[in-house]
């Protein structure tokens, strides 16, 4: 299941980055839906990153390992 989520995230991120790069090269604006998708990917990445840092900090502070 994690592999499918990672593949889906990678495909969506690749699409967003390629499309915004093409739009910038052609001096066009990005559609609102593409901007929304980009912001959602950024928020998802930030949330996962902060959660993993919290998990690592808690694990290091208490010496226990929490099963995910």
Residues 22-63: pLDDT tens digits? 999 999 999 999 999 999 999 999 999 999 999 999 988 998
Q: What is the residue range of 31's domain?
A: 2-62
Q: Which residues of 29-41 are buried (b: 16+ CB within 10 A; e: fewer)?
A: ebeeeeeebbeee
Is the predicted pLDDT of residue 67 greater than 80, yes or no? no
67 assigned to some structural domain? no
Q: Inform me whether the pLDDT recorded for 68 exceeds 90.
A: no
Question: 3-state DSSP helix/strand/coil percent for the chain, to nearest 5?
Answer: 80, 0, 20
Domain count, the chain: 1
pTM for this one? Answer: 0.75
Q: Does residue 38 fall inside a structural domain? A: yes
């Amino acid at each position: 299941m994690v592999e499918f989520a990672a593949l889906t995230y990678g495909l969506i991120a690749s699409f967003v980055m390629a499309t915004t790069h093409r739009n910038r090269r052609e001096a066009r604006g990005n559609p609102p839906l593409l901007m929304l998708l980009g912001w959602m990917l950024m928020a998802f990445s930030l949330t996962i990153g902060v959660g993993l840092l919290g998990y690592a900090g808690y694990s290091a502070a208490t010496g226990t390992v929490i099963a995910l």
